């Protein structure tokens, strides 16, 4: 990985972040984890990208508004119910999730972002949601990243995490992340959620540019079944605990930082492709040299041959 050192911990690998993954009963009886909470120890710069679908879940509308303020402290996520196509009640429930989380954490509820994933058209079970938030707030831990990653899964067969460390201004800086997604995956995001964290100091507008570029090179290049969804969200929090000089496009280590973010986003996107519903093979095609005019046709023929040869569903990455 060159400058990048792979580390453990997912989104709690960066300093100043805690997380929890708990069972709130949203998915019914049993012990399945279905609620995650991610918290920064201090106000963090925040960036976000969202689905381009005309139909958008309640949390997408709420997060768009709050990300515009460029600051956040926490993200609460439930799985098992998408809170989409529920009209005004859906938005009110998303706001209530943020209000309860803010109260439990002792922070302004407007600094809390909300995400939901699961079945569309079913109202959130708010009694279980509110009780679960209280449990999650008590379960927060700086080693809670792996449990949080499991709690956001729906049809995923495995959790998806990544964390790396780089040097910025000679200081160790960490970027961590988790994602979910296996079906209804289409470019311009899909039925997927992803959350990134870093302890780097990053100017908020630069953070948004960094995330948008990383998403365009990773999550927006994944397709499993060609179906786009209404809840797709990627959120990125930078709390500045590492103490480096503020990062922006003029900083000497900007390319190092953005390259590290690309690495995490690409790793998570590839894990979504590998876990695609029905996928049995994962093939990487590396193309070198100048493309001839008919190279696209030739490459397509190669992919068709590969799919036939593997005799299974094939997910392909181009590198």
Any idea what the CATH number is for the domain that residue 250 is in?
A: 3.60.70.12
Same domain, 122 and 190: yes
Spatial distance between the Cα atoms of 222 and 269, rounded to a whole number of angstroms: 7
271 with 186, same domain? yes
Assess whether 229 and 285 both reside in one domain: no
Q: Are residues 216 and 289 in the same domain?
A: no
Please tell me the predicted confidence (pLDDT) of residue 308.
Answer: 53
CA angle 20, 196, 260 (to 5 degrees): 135
Please tell me the predicted confidence (pLDDT) of residue 182: 65
58 to 134, 189, 211: CA distances (angstroms):
22, 17, 22
Task: Name beta bridge partners: 20.
Answer: 37
Instruction: Please tell me whether residues 176 and 222 are part of one structural domain.
Output: yes
> Quick one: 265 and 290 in the same domain?
no
Considering the domain architecture, whether residues 54 and 86 belong to the same structural domain is answered as yes
Task: Answer yes or no: do 170 and 304 share one domain.
Answer: no
Write out the two tokens for 198: 């870093």
pLDDT recorded at residue 220: 85
Reading the chain (319 residues) residue by residue, the pLDDT tens digits are 448 899 999 999 999 999 999 999 998 877 799 999 999 999 999 999 998 777 777 899 999 999 999 999 999 999 999 998 999 999 999 999 999 999 999 999 999 999 999 888 899 999 999 999 999 999 999 999 999 999 999 888 899 999 999 999 999 999 999 999 865 555 554 458 999 999 999 999 999 999 999 999 888 877 665 566 677 899 999 999 999 999 999 999 999 999 999 999 999 988 988 876 666 676 776 666 655 555 555 555 555 555 555 544 545 555 5
Boundary residue ending a domain (262, 277, 292): 277
Domain count along the chain: 2
The reply to whether 248 and 145 lie within a common domain is yes
Q: What is the dihedral of CA 93, 95, 96, 101, to 10 degrees?
A: 130
Same domain, 168 and 129: yes
Same-domain pairing of 226 and 300: no
pTM above 0.95, yes or no: no
Q: Please give the pLDDT value at position 189.
A: 47
Locate 9 and state its tokens.
């911990």
The tokens describing 51, both together, are 């689905």
**Catalytic positions:** 191
Beta strand pairing call for 112-119 and 160-168: unpaired
- Residue 19: give the domain boundaries: 5-277
Distance CA 154, CA 46 (A): 25
| Co-location of 121 and 198 in the same domain | yes
Q: In the beta sheet, which residues pair with residue 287? A: none
């Amino acid at each position: 990985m060159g400058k990048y050192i792979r580390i453990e911990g997912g989104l709690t690998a960066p300093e100043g972040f805690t997380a929890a993954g708990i069972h709130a009963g949203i998915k019914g009886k049993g012990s399945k984890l279905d609620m995650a909470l991610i918290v920064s120890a201090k106000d963090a710069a925040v960036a976000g990208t969202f689905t381009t679908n005309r139909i958008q879940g309640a949390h997408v509308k709420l997060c768009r508004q709050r990300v515009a303020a460029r600051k956040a402290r926490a993200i609460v996520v439930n799985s098992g119910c998408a809170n989409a196509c529920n009209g005004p009640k859906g938005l009110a429930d998303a706001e209530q999730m943020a209000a309860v989380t803010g109260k439990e954490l002792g922070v302004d509820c407007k600094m809390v972002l909300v995400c939901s994933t699961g079945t569309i058209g079913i109202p959130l079970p708010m009694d279980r949601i509110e009780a679960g938030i209280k449990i999650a707030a008590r379960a927060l831990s700086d080693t809670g990243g792996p449990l949080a990653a499991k709690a956001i899964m729906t049809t995923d067969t495995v959790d998806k995490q990544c964390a790396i460390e780089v040097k910025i201004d000679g200081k160790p800086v960490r970027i961590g992340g988790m994602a979910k997604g296996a079906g209804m995956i289409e470019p311009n995001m899909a039925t997927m959620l992803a959350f990134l964290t870093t302890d780097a100091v990053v100017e908020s507008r630069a953070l948004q540019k960094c995330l948008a570029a990383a998403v365009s090179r990773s999550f927006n290049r994944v397709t499993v079944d060609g179906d786009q969804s209404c809840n797709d969200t990627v959120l990125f929090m930078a709390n500045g605990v590492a103490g480096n000089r503020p990062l922006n496009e003029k900083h000497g280590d900007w390319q190092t930082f953005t390259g590290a973010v690309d690495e995490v986003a690409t790793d998570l996107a590839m894990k979504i492709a590998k876990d695609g519903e029905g996928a049995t093979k994962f093939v990487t095609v590396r193309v070198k040299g100048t493309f001839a005019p008919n190279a696209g046709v030739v490459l397509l023929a190669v992919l068709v041959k590969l799919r036939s040869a593997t005799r299974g569903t094939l997910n392909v990455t181009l590198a």
